[in-house]
Chains A and B, each alone.
Chain A
């Protein structure tokens, strides 16, 4: 429910987005401030981890992929013309490397769940001990969605709103199409939760 007290979404004085902050760090790094690279790693690694996990890497592979992409960034820092594009570059690189890694491992190991995520985060008995009831309901509903929606929502949840350019690039969608898809995924999620009497909007 919108009230006058609550800030409107999308005002011009929004704090800088993840993409903006990442771009600023990368710019400083390229100006010779080595410490800025560490700040960039702290900022972007959690998102990159989720990109890798959403694209089929197990936890160990995700860690390797994220680390390799960082090394590649430093090797190829000169190829990125616009510092502001660094988050998009990282996300795209992690996505590609994740696909490649996951494809190779699917060829060598049989994944009985057949999902993009090799089973580890499927609802299981351990979920009840880690998550609140509300989170369990949400996670259950998310897992009912299509693979595409699960991927998209997981990554969107770790981005700031103005960064959707980067997300659309990461998911190889034309820029205009991420909105409706995201909207459809969220609508489905909301419908499914609304149908569950245990769910309460907060």
Chain B
């Protein structure tokens, strides 16, 4: 295949040098680890033509690393001009978490979405929604208020 393009074939030494170079560049000037997830989030916002809610309370929720024991319940609030969403996340300690949420707008359901594109849906009853046991990890909420712009929260860690 390379011959028909007039390419000199690579030998073993070339291949190893390129491998070494790749590892070297990855150490010295790595692609930021969060970049693919940020790209995916931007694409979701664009696809939904959504309004991104602002994180109001507990900015620690966004910066909390994976190393820390996620054993504490945390509460975060997200807000746009028209909607506030408050969520309390209580890790169960078995790799799942319970998410209790409250909404200030009309909506039939709330979506809990993941950077990998999967999502789960919970019904909203009187402004309240619950995800009883969802896998821990990065996630964001998507709300479709009828007749209004879709609202999406920044990614937070369950």
Number of chain B residues whose Cβ lies closer than 8 Å to a Cβ of chain A: 41
Tell me whether B1 and A162 are in contact (CB under 8 A): yes
| Residue B36 lies at the interface, judged by CB distance under 8 Å to chain A | yes
Chain B residues within 8 Å of A158, by CB:
22, 25
Interface string of A63-93 (1 = CB under 8 A from B): 1001100110010000000000000000000
Tell me whether A154 and B25 are in contact (CB under 8 A): yes
Tell me whether B39 and A53 are in contact (CB under 8 A): no
Residue of B nearest to A134 (CB): B20
Tell me whether B18 and A45 are in contact (CB under 8 A): no
How far in angstroms is the closest Cβ of chain A from B7?
Answer: 3
| Residue B43 lies at the interface, judged by CB distance under 8 Å to chain A | yes
| Residue A24 lies at the interface, judged by CB distance under 8 Å to chain B | no
Given A41-B43, A127-B28, A158-B22, A35 and B116 contact (CB-CB distance below 8 Å):
yes
Tell me whether A9 and B28 are in contact (CB under 8 A): no
How far in angstroms is the closest Cβ of chain B from A168?
Answer: 8
Interface string of B2-15 (1 = CB under 8 A from A): 10011111111111
| Residue A104 lies at the interface, judged by CB distance under 8 Å to chain B | no
Tell me whether A179 and B8 are in contact (CB under 8 A): yes
Residue of B nearest to A178 (CB): B7
Per DSSP, chain B at the interface is helix
B46-80: which have CB < 8 Å to A? 46-47
Most buried by B among A53, A70, A127: A70
Chain A residues within 8 Å of B1, by CB:
10, 162
Chain B residues within 8 Å of A4, by CB:
none
Residue of B nearest to A193 (CB): B17
How far in angstroms is the closest Cβ of chain A from B6?
Answer: 4
Residue of B nearest to A180 (CB): B8
How far in angstroms is the closest Cβ of chain B from A52?
Answer: 10
Selected from B6, B12, B21, the residue in CB contact (under 8 A) with A2 is B12
Tell me whether A189 and B17 are in contact (CB under 8 A): yes
Residue of A nearest to B27 (CB): A130
A156-199: which have CB < 8 Å to B? 156-158, 161-162, 164-165, 175-176, 178-180, 182-183, 186, 189-190, 193
Identify 10 residue pairs between A and B in the complex whose beta-carbon atoms are under 8 Å apart, listed by A's number: A41-B36, A63-B35, A67-B39, A67-B42, A74-B43, A135-B24, A138-B21, A142-B24, A157-B18, A157-B19
Closest 3 CB pairs of A and B: A179-B7, A35-B117, A49-B31
In addition to A38-B115, A189-B17, 18 A-B residue pairs with Cβ atoms within 8 Å of each other are A10-B1, A34-B47, A41-B36, A131-B27, A135-B20, A135-B24, A138-B17, A138-B24, A154-B21, A154-B25, A156-B18, A157-B18, A161-B2, A164-B2, A176-B5, A179-B5, A179-B8, A201-B16
**Residues of chain B whose beta carbon lies under 8 Å from any beta carbon of chain A:** 1-2, 5-25, 27-29, 31-32, 35-36, 38-40, 42-43, 46-47, 115-118
